[in-house]
Amino acid sequence: MKISPQKISSIVISNAVQISSDAIQLALEHNIDVVMLDQYGDPYARVWFPRIGSTVLIRRRQLEMIDDALGLDFIKRWVCLKIMNQYRFLKTLASKRDWVSEEKREKIELLRNYAVSIFRSEGHIDELSGVFMGLEGSASRVYFGLLAEFIPDTYKFKGRSSRPAKDVFNAFLNYAYGILYSKTERALIIAGLDPYIGILHSDNYNKKSFVFDFIEAYRILADEPVFYFFSRHKCKPEYYDEIHKGITLNAEGKKVFAPYILEYLDQKIRYRNKNRKRIDMIQTDAHAFANFIIGKKDSYFEQSVARKFENFINIDKKLEEE
């Protein structure tokens, strides 16, 4: 089967395969990166095209954002956007299940409370980073605790776990996150942003801190398809293996799940006034953010997302006005 390079954005290798140097050269000539994933779905190596297309100004502004109000505002909005996505997903799931108790519905509302606390925080990023991570961590525990109650009993789990996953659900989720990490890193570099200059996450040596910052708003792109993979009983015991202190996808599981998650990411949605693949949200947002920090764009938020965000954060204010 032959596929046009124009239809490919990346080549993901997660099993033992052979690829020719001619294929790699053709990929690089068409700005297609070749990514190698480990058994957990995390990228451990990649072959990049030589033309990155960044500007010194963008990276300089990234460094300045570590200590200015713009960086603090971005982190507050980006973490809150992640929590908003979690909140909206749980609300959707709860609305389709008449057995969901009032207590569980009240727990869902806790997510919004955590987001509002983050958004209203004032101070310096160094002082608030621990607070943000604590509140975000509390929101995640509530989120995954509720999510675990919505999937079939066979696959219920106790919170997030990684490297290795302690349960099957987290094994698949870690693999999906690995794909998103790769896509996010690529989007940042193409947009001229430095994946190593983080704002909330520390910029330790050899750690792609800004990838961890930027991916937060898109984790829902993994959460939703993984959840539906389990809730629709698509997971089978032959897709995963038990390893020391955990669970991991095996070759058969990756063969089935990789096309499933990639098909979901390739579905078209309306975004920034165009029909785009879901995964292209990351690239368009990365370009918008890069242009925003150098003054070429008024906002990095897509309009419909901005409206949802304002409604999410300002619900208390609206109630007071009424």
Domain locations in the chain as residue ranges = 54-321
| Tokens 């675990």, residue located | 148
3-state secondary structure of 211: helix
Residue 319 is predicted with a pLDDT of: 40
Least confident piece of the model among 15-19, 64-68, 82-86, 87-91: 15-19
Phi, psi of 275 (to 5 degrees): -80, 115
Residue 94 is predicted with a pLDDT of: 96
User: Of residues 23 and 239, which shows the higher confidence score?
Assistant: 239
Angle between helices 102-119 and 125-150 (to 10 degrees): 160
User: Of residues 41 and 297, which shows the higher confidence score?
Assistant: 297
Give the confidence band of 28 by pLDDT, cuts at 50, 70, 90: confident
Quote the tokens at residue 168. 């099957």
Residue 106 is predicted with a pLDDT of: 96
Residue 48 is predicted with a pLDDT of: 65
Q: Nearest 5°: CA angle at 281, between 264 and 251?
A: 35
**CATH placement of domain 54-321:** 1.20.120.920
Residue 267 is predicted with a pLDDT of: 96
Give the confidence band of 211 by pLDDT, cuts at 50, 70, 90: very high
3-state secondary structure of 273: coil
Mean pLDDT value of segment 65-72: 92
Give the confidence band of 316 by pLDDT, cuts at 50, 70, 90: low
Residue 40 is predicted with a pLDDT of: 59
* Residue 107: how many other CB atoms lie within 10 Å: 17
8 Å CB contact between 33 and 51: no
pTM of the model: 0.84
8 Å CB contact between 181 and 162: no
pLDDT at 53 over 60: no
DSSP H or E run through 147? helix 125-150
Give 219's contacts (C-beta < 8 A, 6+ positions apart): 82, 85, 177, 180
Mean pLDDT value of segment 265-282: 95
8 Å CB contact between 43 and 36: yes
- For the chain, give the mean pLDDT: 88
